[in-house]
Structure 1
Amino acid sequence: MVDVENAPRFSIADYLVFISMLIVSAGIGVYHALTGGKQKTTNEFLLANQNMNPIPVGCSLVASFISAITFLGTPAENYIYGPMFMLYGFSYVFTGFATAYMFMPVFYRLNVTSAYEYLEKRFSKTVRLMGMVTFSLQMVIYMGIVIYAPSLALNAVTGLDLWGAVFAIGIVCTFYTTIGGMKAVLWTDVFQVTVMVIGFLAIIIRGSMDVGGLDRVWNISAEGGRIQFFDFDPDPTVRHTFWSVVIGGTFTWTAVYGVNQSQVQRYLTCGSQSVARIALLISTIGMVIVVCLACLSGLVMYAKYAGCDPMLRGDVAKSDQLIPYLVMDLFSDMPGLPGLITSAVFSAALSTVSSGLNSLAAVYGEDVVKLIWPNIEERKYTMITKALAGFFGVVCIGMAVVASFMGDVLQTALSIFGMIGGPLLGLFSLGIFFPWANTKGAISGLLSGLVMAFWIGIGAQFYPPVVNKPPLTIDYCEFGEGNYSMYNSTDMYSTTTMISITDMPEERPAVAKLYSLSYAWYSAVAWLTVLFVGLIVSFATGPTDPADVDPKLCCSLVDTMYCCLPEKIKKPLRCGVRYDEQFTHVDDVHDEYKVVGGKNIDSKDETKF
């Protein structure tokens, strides 16, 4: 067991492994800067020439957001609360379907670089800029968390220099993203997601061996009240239930994979929509695998420390430090392995930050630079987008300081997704699925969604929801030596000093009931707010005539989900949008669109939709 005062620190071998990971990541960037088109065009720099294989794209979609937050936060979540988080696997499946058949076709038809180009085509330039600024806020805050949280956790437990780690991530990531472009981002993501999976497997294998096998892990977790998967309580204030995780999680992750520029830009690197759907299928499977490995790592950690909780004992100050603590406990006698698993954490951070930098460069290039200089030379525009990537690299290092004031890393990250991603999802949904929506409705809806989301999210910081946690104890610690996990599980709960942690607030005002809403519902509530306000304002100010809306800007849900219905039933359900009559089965046509010479062309007759 690791002693807080004399805890094992990084050895020379660990530092060498960690530095090697950074060198490999930077080397991939250098390679792509010197090969192919050498990143001389924005199409190559931002979209990898739109000819990427679905495998690296799928891996990148996994790595971009299931990253350092997952590596540190998800095992800690399962250690403290149990494996309800594993149900997010169901939400990933629903997210994949919604993205592939409802949002992706629209972006492919328009052949955009920035997802927010859609908002100008559907509404106005003002709405486009508002969407871009909202996305920028989300990504800059999120990247600050991604850089700072793992650095702080690893500094506290392994002795790795805090700001040295922050600057290492920021500088290396900015370097290879700026010189290597999207190709470097995609291929470093493949390398980094591989390191992440190896890290989880190492923890699961060694940790379960120490405890006595996976069956022992399961039994100890069950006795500790951690094996509770299906809580069907409809109360939206309960932190995790089947409904909040599966339904609320679907909205949270659809906001990420459906309309977030970082992910949209990735699947647009594929040459056709059918290839992009393969990449999305790979990413969905990968997301489920990674979240299961992360959750299992948390159960292994609980089985090891069930009788001697490191937080109650005072060995770690925050739950985010549990995984680094476990790593040093398991592998301190194996020089190099702590460095490898630490590299997995930072690989996860690198993948997320590089995705964010590239996407921010794309949106500011397309949504700001080109609006100011519409006829800018290609060479100059490419240089500006590279400079933008470098600039945002510096910004995200600065945001790491702000992240030091935030709380639980996993819940904070998902709350940001909900608070900012939810309104953005609502804005795109308003345009894609509701042809009556107009510009005033879009602006009012987005602002209302943001106000609602931040009101609840910030209020929850002042009046945290009451959260009941399964018990943790230090009754079986053998202060001095020994493996604390090897207790007699049959009498574990005979002690009278078992500590049940429940966050009990002081006196609360009536409005605090609103702040008790589970963070998992933030995105869904914001989405509903945008649609409700947006449609009311649209109808009050004169709704758009659906016949005047370009059908390329909408998604026909009836054709997507109920393609076998008779035409006489489907036609009125298209809400008056004039879909080309020769394309009755709209979704079948979507598969035929390919990117050729920068234009969307129907492979059958080269006729635009």
Structure 2
Amino acid sequence: MVGTGGPVASFSVWDYVVFAGTILASAGIGLFQAIRGRKETSSAEFLLGGRQMTAVPVAMSLTASFMSGITVIGTPAEAYRFGAAFWLFAFSYAIMSAITAEVFVPLFYRLNITSAYEYLELRFSRPIRLIGTSMYIIQTALYTGLVIYAPALALNQITGLDLWGVLVATGAVCIIYCTLGGLKAVIWTDVLQMMIMLAGFVAVIARGAVLQGGLTNIWKDAGQGGRLEVFDFDPDPLKRHTFWSIVIGGSVMWASIYSINQSQVQRYISCKTLGHAKMSLYVNMVGLWVTVSLAVFSGLTMFSIYKNCDPLTNNDVRTPDQLLPYLVMDILAVYPGVPGLFVAAAYSGTLSTVSSSINALVAVTVEDYLHPVCKNLTERQVTWMNMGLSVLFGALCIGMAGVASLMESILQAALSIFGMISGPLLGLYLLGMLFRTSNSIGGLVGMIIGLVLTLWVGIGGQIYPPTAEKTNPLPLSTAGCNSTMGQSHTTTAPWTSPTTLTTPPHGRPPLADSWYSLSYLYLALLGTLTTIASGLLVSMITGGCKQEKLNSDLFVRISDMSCFSWCDKSEASDITEKAATDFHFEADNPTYKYTDMMSKDVEKSTKL
């Protein structure tokens, strides 16, 4: 009987057919793009889709890239245990989209960059660019490991397939279509995978509504269980989720992901016009709203079904991330092929994120490390290098899944990684884009201070998780559990999971209940503000106020921050050419030369 606990069904033949069809479709799109673009083998075509993409597919790709298998599995479990406060991220998505579209996109588009970290060299210095790129590579490898591990664990528990066999298969599929099709293959597979993800949520909600007598009853159960108490205005920064931590901290965290993360930047600068690039972010915002709404409501549906028999407390599952896969097999196994659709949804989120990460890692490696050293490579050599790096980074991401198996909560761990590393990087970008006083010394010192601080808090929080008083889990019941009641389908043993990090038995250090208990959503804000403040101070001490005139293209303009400033490439080119009458950049020597238009023989050079 559904909702009474106990073992659940295993995969049927039709589930395997649906799941395999999804994977083959993803690989097929990569093969199709490879055949279609076989005559266009340039690096720009492979990494940026020839800069000819349009808003809607890019928007769906932006959404799918970070609405991964972690979202499919983790967000419903979050709503089930802690309530619908995660819905407040809709505000964060709106703020993030506006900041990215109106501040960062015009600047990156104007500079015509391939790697987001090119900006750090133009504004500060090459060593800072390489440090920023290295931070991104480490962050992306760790995050992608989590992304691969989450649905692989779900598939392992549902089907009984070997966990590491699933991990390797995930990486292999991504490597195939990333290597063959480049960014175009990644974007168009993201479109397919986004649709499958949403279909998986709809299937869970629809079946739950049938079992519970309608959506109204699900909503009523959620309200009675305290799951709809969303607006908590407590200013305590140690509480895991409040209105302030989600809206303020979450906005900064998501801005650090969308504004400067190569996986996202690479998508919107692949658009054929600035208008398409901005529009892609606003369409993406709507996509994020739809995705988080369906994910949260799936969690409320799960609570309505298990309100009297919590599978976690009843030891039917061992970790929160197994709750939704358990629900799927409990309520959907009577429809052959539908559980396969759900696993395909989780798997599709993984494929979209991993492929995006691999493509972005190749881009920054080629642009930031290899091009400056190997300047005489032919296009064919560069193409083979791109393909080889795709295989290399695919293998690296598979290896990092082993690290992910040690994390307690996959959703929180993933977002914490971004806060710890992207927060200081965002601070560095804002330091350069908004403050002419900042110099390379201030930028470097500020970023290091911000990074050390966020790593200290973030790693401490993983080793010594906050107590229940700070995480605020809502009550769950096992009063209605009856594991001995007959199921109408074949059963398997209760699920298990790998060992997770636990607090050492000898006790918690003094900082564990204060500093280490800071909400993970404030990590990015902490890193950003620390980097800006310390960077400005060091810059002023080291002569930042005495810098020669800098290229205006490197700073945010008032004219950029308008929803109607959607000029196309030719207009952007005109703007750049106009700026170039005063400032000239020498590619081999990062020096900007200011030329007095009244006296051509007077030149001032400023070493960046």
Alignment match of 1:602 (pick from 562, 570, 574): 574
Conserved? CA contact 2:8–2:326, under 8 Å = no
Conserved? CA contact 1:86–1:291, under 8 Å = yes
User: Is 1:66–2:67 an aligned residue pair?
Assistant: yes
Q: Provide the C-alpha distance between the structure 2 equivalents of 1:277 and 1:546, rounded to a whole number of angstroms.
A: 33
Aligned residue type for 1:367:
D
Aligned residue type for 1:156:
Q
Q: How do 1:381-392 and structure 2 match up within 5 A? A: 381-392=382-393
Hey, what does 1:569 align to over in structure 2?
Answer: none
Q: Provide the C-alpha distance between the structure 1 equivalents of 2:155 and 2:32, rounded to a whole number of angstroms.
A: 30
Q: Provide the C-alpha distance between the structure 2 equivalents of 1:113 and 1:236, rounded to a whole number of angstroms.
A: 38
Hey, what does 1:511 align to over in structure 2?
Answer: 511
Conserved? CA contact 1:271–1:595, under 8 Å = no
Shift in Å, 1:211: 1.3
Q: Provide the C-alpha distance between the structure 2 equivalents of 1:534 and 1:286, rounded to a whole number of angstroms.
A: 36
Hey, what does 1:405 align to over in structure 2?
Answer: 406
Q: Provide the C-alpha distance between the structure 2 equivalents of 1:310 and 1:322, rounded to a whole number of angstroms.
A: 7
Conserved? CA contact 1:140–1:399, under 8 Å = yes
Q: Provide the C-alpha distance between the structure 2 equivalents of 1:119 and 1:605, rounded to a whole number of angstroms.
A: 21
169-178 or 462-471, which deviates more:
462-471
Hey, what does 1:306 align to over in structure 2?
Answer: 307
Structure 2: gaps of 5 or more residues: 488-502, 582-608
Hey, what does 1:236 align to over in structure 2?
Answer: 237
Pick closer, same or farther for the CA change 1:370–1:560 going to 2, 3 Å: closer
Shift in Å, 1:438: 0.7
Pick closer, same or farther for the CA change 1:244–1:302 going to 2, 3 Å: same
Hey, what does 1:265 align to over in structure 2?
Answer: 266
Instruction: Please report the TM-score for the alignment, with normalisation by the length of structure 1.
Output: 0.88
Hey, what does 2:453 align to over in structure 1?
Answer: 452
Q: Provide the C-alpha distance between the structure 1 equivalents of 2:347 and 2:546, rounded to a whole number of angstroms.
A: 51
Q: Provide the C-alpha distance between the structure 2 equivalents of 1:469 and 1:427, rounded to a whole number of angstroms.
A: 36
Q: How do 1:552-571 and structure 2 match up within 5 A? A: 552-556=553-557
Deviations 1:335-376 (A, max 9, x none): 111111100000000000000000000000000110111232
131-140 or 213-222, which deviates more:
213-222
Pick closer, same or farther for the CA change 1:504–1:126 going to 2, 3 Å: closer
Q: Provide the C-alpha distance between the structure 2 equivalents of 1:181 and 1:595, rounded to a whole number of angstroms.
A: 26
Shift in Å, 1:4: 8.2
Deviations 1:415-439 (A, max 9, x none): 0111111111111111111111111
Conserved? CA contact 2:68–2:352, under 8 Å = yes
Q: Provide the C-alpha distance between the structure 1 equivalents of 2:72 and 2:464, rounded to a whole number of angstroms.
A: 28
Q: Provide the C-alpha distance between the structure 1 equivalents of 2:576 and 2:108, rounded to a whole number of angstroms.
A: 20
Hey, what does 1:319 align to over in structure 2?
Answer: 320
Q: Provide the C-alpha distance between the structure 2 equivalents of 1:546 and 1:330, rounded to a whole number of angstroms.
A: 66
Conserved? CA contact 1:10–1:160, under 8 Å = no
Q: Provide the C-alpha distance between the structure 2 equivalents of 1:511 and 1:112, rounded to a whole number of angstroms.
A: 43
Conserved? CA contact 1:169–1:350, under 8 Å = yes
Hey, what does 2:473 align to over in structure 1?
Answer: 469
Pick closer, same or farther for the CA change 1:450–1:328 going to 2, 3 Å: same
Hey, what does 2:602 align to over in structure 1?
Answer: none
Pick closer, same or farther for the CA change 1:153–1:254 going to 2, 3 Å: same
Conserved? CA contact 1:33–1:39, under 8 Å = no
Q: Provide the C-alpha distance between the structure 1 equivalents of 2:364 and 2:417, rounded to a whole number of angstroms.
A: 20
Pick closer, same or farther for the CA change 1:171–1:273 going to 2, 3 Å: same
Aligned residue type for 2:225:
G
Q: How do 1:34-113 and structure 2 match up within 5 A? A: 34-113=35-114
Q: Provide the C-alpha distance between the structure 2 equivalents of 1:4 and 1:182, rounded to a whole number of angstroms.
A: 45
Q: Provide the C-alpha distance between the structure 1 equivalents of 2:144 and 2:463, rounded to a whole number of angstroms.
A: 24
Hey, what does 2:552 align to over in structure 1?
Answer: 551
Q: How do 1:322-337 and structure 2 match up within 5 A? A: 322-337=323-338
Q: How do 1:158-237 and structure 2 match up within 5 A? A: 158-237=159-238
Shift in Å, 1:468: 2.5
Shift in Å, 1:158: 3.7
Pick closer, same or farther for the CA change 1:595–1:406 going to 2, 3 Å: farther
Aligned residue type for 2:325:
P
Pick closer, same or farther for the CA change 1:506–1:273 going to 2, 3 Å: farther
Aligned residue type for 1:594:
K
Deviations 1:428-487 (A, max 9, x none): 11111111111111111111111111100111123221222111110111332279xxxx
Aligned residue type for 1:472:
L
Hey, what does 2:145 align to over in structure 1?
Answer: 144
Q: Provide the C-alpha distance between the structure 1 equivalents of 2:474 and 2:79, rounded to a whole number of angstroms.
A: 11
Conserved? CA contact 2:240–2:472, under 8 Å = no
Q: Provide the C-alpha distance between the structure 1 equivalents of 2:570 and 2:7, rounded to a whole number of angstroms.
A: 59
Deviations 1:274-303 (A, max 9, x none): 111111111010001100100000000000
Q: Provide the C-alpha distance between the structure 1 equivalents of 2:31 and 2:79, rounded to a whole number of angstroms.
A: 39
Instruction: Please report the TM-score for the alignment, with normalisation by the length of structure 2.
Output: 0.89
348-357 or 331-340, which deviates more:
331-340
Q: Provide the C-alpha distance between the structure 2 equivalents of 1:606 and 1:17, rounded to a whole number of angstroms.
A: 55
Shift in Å, 1:541: 1.0
Conserved? CA contact 2:51–2:269, under 8 Å = yes
Pick closer, same or farther for the CA change 1:474–1:54 going to 2, 3 Å: same
Q: Provide the C-alpha distance between the structure 2 equivalents of 1:154 and 1:228, rounded to a whole number of angstroms.
A: 33
Pick closer, same or farther for the CA change 1:261–1:12 going to 2, 3 Å: same
Q: Provide the C-alpha distance between the structure 1 equivalents of 2:120 and 2:308, rounded to a whole number of angstroms.
A: 55
